[in-house]
A and B are shown apart, each in its own frame.
Chain A
Amino acid sequence: MADATETEEPVVVDEARSALLEAITADLGDALVGSHLLPGKDLWIRVSSESWGSTASYLRSKQQFRFFNFLSAIDWLPSPFGRSHGSSVDVALGNEDEAEVETTLGSGYAGGETRFQVLARVHSLTTNMGITVKADFPEDSLSVGTWINDYPGANWHEREAAEMFGVHFAGHPNLTALYLPSAFEGHPLRKDFPLLSRMVKPWPGIVDVEAMPEIEQSATADSSASTENPES
């Protein structure tokens, strides 16, 4: 996964972010279980579930990441309902492989082992660099530590993540529903939570893709969409 996105100039060396990563690696030690660096663009690190809470105070006090950007979670389970665009039209466009349901658990940059991952992003104003921090939710408890003691702004973000993914942040004083009515059942952003309107009426396929001006002149002169290679 890590090398899936090639930068346009692979030779770019990002000294600032490399140095930052080295410092974090040295300080966190075993707590750091993964990292990913896109030179000139961004930095991801993954810490162990137990050290999630202490990572916040480390980043805030030691590395001067004062600005709290956001906190959320990801459900890496492939959707049990298949890809939404696996309709006949899309298959005709050369997407046959997309129609089948995947079962393997995915993982993003900096890796991951469990289904749920928490991710948060903080920003340093002194170096003008942001960093995305991830951690796995343990499969049994789905619980990591809270960040609100170091970043009080994480309060609402953790409440949102908790209600949307059904995860738990230990130490949060008021982990009640933020958006959803209190009687709501289920956790909407989990991949196995069906989007009912799509279940009732399946997606008709990509029928409203318009021709791009450049391609219009060259490729679509024969006006046959199916002959076109989407990966051109």
Chain B
Amino acid sequence: MTAISDRRQLAYIAAQAADARVNIELEAEGMTLNIGPQHPATHGTLRIVARLDGEQVVEANPIMGYMHRGYEKLAEVRTYPQVTALINRIDWLGSFANEVPFILASEQLMGIEAPERAQHIRTILFEMARIANVTLFLGDMGVQLGAVTPIFYAFRDREHILNQIESATGGRFHPNFDRIGGLKDDLPAGWIDETKRSLKEIRKFCDQMEDLIIGNEIFQARTRNIGVIPADIALSYGMSGANLRASGVDWDLRRDSPVGLAYDKVDWKVWTHTDGDSFARYWVRLQETRESCKIVEQLLDTIPSGPIMAKVPRIIKVPAGEAFIETENPLGVMGYYVVSQGGLEPFRVKIRSASFSNMSISPWLLKGAYVPDVITILASLYFILGDIDR
């Protein structure tokens, strides 16, 4: 039964059957195009099985799980401080932002609050994670549409932010810096001026992208009226973040429930766009990057003095209870539903990640699109595989 020849034969029969199935589909209902799991447009290992009629998509069916790491199960056998090392890897481009909602949920369960200075620095790093994340999107959207150059500018200027994150936290991509009750360390000397300089670079980058991409007529022709999502459908699919605001929904958790973060202390604006198409999503993200620069610049000037760590027991035991905290992460609303039964480790952690919900609209959205528009839509929805698969 388990002889190699048998297994090979089995694999051969399976391959034949799969071919036969595909060929039948090819004859009966147009062509089946398998986009991914290894494909330049899928940022990793997303797979989309699209049935085509000519170049038009009749039905698109995303298949994921190629990168499922089971963080919800793994979190159940780790102590609360250890969980943050895991959840850093969910949205790997804006890692610090992943830690914050979990830490806030744990703090709510324990009934403690981080000192004001820690909250300030948290907000700064949170926004810098957003900048590092969205900067790459701003360049990547160009690559997906065929303009190769913007991504190199994005990598170049994101480096300024990553350097600052590194010098403050010690990690370029995975800071693991947030602690229950505060932060691991204080900011290093000279960091504030350095950061202000790097923000200037990001602002320059935003202007550049506005000229290079938004002002480009081909880009507009490729993205306007492509992948239009009405506000109500976006909400019922659980879309969030810039995708939702591009559909005209004026909802931003940073403004509407700034729990544990210092967003209410600065002057900033929530950008929305009424079109709901791919162009609107790009435009909103660009404006938000500028807004993030504004937020960080203001916060840098007003960091209060004081401790960065609240009084927290050395061994963190979280009282029994349940808490759900969501924050406005770079990709959208990210939340952790933490259930504690009074132990060292959480009883259950449900990770509500933004890309998972954002992508769940794709079968609806891709229906009827052309193959080039599939790429445009996927790029404009901006998912990160780690955020879908967790």
A residues bordering B, Cβ < 8 Å?
1, 4-8, 41-42, 44, 60, 66-70, 72, 74-75, 78-79, 83-85, 90, 93, 95, 98, 106, 108-109, 119, 121, 125, 128, 130, 132, 150-153, 155-157, 164, 177-181, 188-189, 193, 195, 198, 203, 206, 209, 211-215, 219-220, 225, 228-232
Contact = CB atoms under 8 A, between A and B. Distances in A.
A189 B72 contact: yes
Interface stretch (B47-55, B204-212, B337-345): B337-345
Contact of A4 (B308, B312, B320, B344): B320
Contact of B238 (A67, A109, A215, A230): A67
Nearest to A109: B322
B249 interface: yes
15 contacts: A67-B240, A68-B236, A68-B238, A74-B348, A83-B343, A84-B78, A85-B344, A119-B350, A121-B324, A178-B64, A179-B65, A203-B77, A209-B81, A214-B309, A230-B313
B235 A67 contact: yes
B1 interface: no
Nearest to A79: B76
Contacts of A119: 337, 350
A147 B146 CA distance: 40
Nearest to B63: A178
B73 A188 contact: yes
Contact of B356 (A6, A60, A156, A209): A156
A103 to B, nearest CB: 13
B75 to A, nearest CB: 11
A151 B238 contact: yes
A229 to B, nearest CB: 8
A213 B317 contact: no
Contacts of A157: 356-357, 360
Contacts of B335: 69-70, 121
B311 interface: yes
A96 to B, nearest CB: 13
B314 A5 contact: no
A128 B256 contact: yes
Interface string B308-340: 110111110101111110100000010101010
A232 B360 CA distance: 46
B361 to A, nearest CB: 7
Nearest to A198: B77
Query: Nearest 8 pairs between A and B by C-beta?
Result: A179-B65, A230-B315, A153-B237, A153-B238, A84-B77, A5-B321, A70-B352, A68-B238
A219 B311 CA distance: 12
Nearest to A181: B65
A7 B109 CA distance: 9
Nearest to B360: A156
B70 interface: yes
**Residue among A5, A74, A157 with the highest chain B CB neighbour number at 10 A:** A5
B94 to A, nearest CB: 20
B112 to A, nearest CB: 9
Nearest to A44: B322
B92 interface: no
A211 B314 contact: yes
Given A93-B315, A211-B314, A7 B79 contact: no
A41 B88 CA distance: 26
A195 B326 contact: no
Contact of B389 (A44, A150, A179): A179
A209 to B, nearest CB: 7
A78 B357 CA distance: 30
Contacts of B309: 212-214
Contacts of A220: 314
Contact of A66 (B65, B235, B343): B235
Interface in B271-314: 307-309, 311-314
B314 A153 contact: no
Contact of B320 (A1, A90, A178, A211): A1
Contacts of A70: 238, 335, 337, 350, 352, 357
Contacts of A215: 312, 314
A225 B324 contact: no
Contacts of B314: 209, 211-212, 215, 219-220, 225, 228, 230
A55 to B, nearest CB: 15
B108 interface: yes
A206 B257 CA distance: 35
Nearest to B65: A179
A228 B65 CA distance: 44
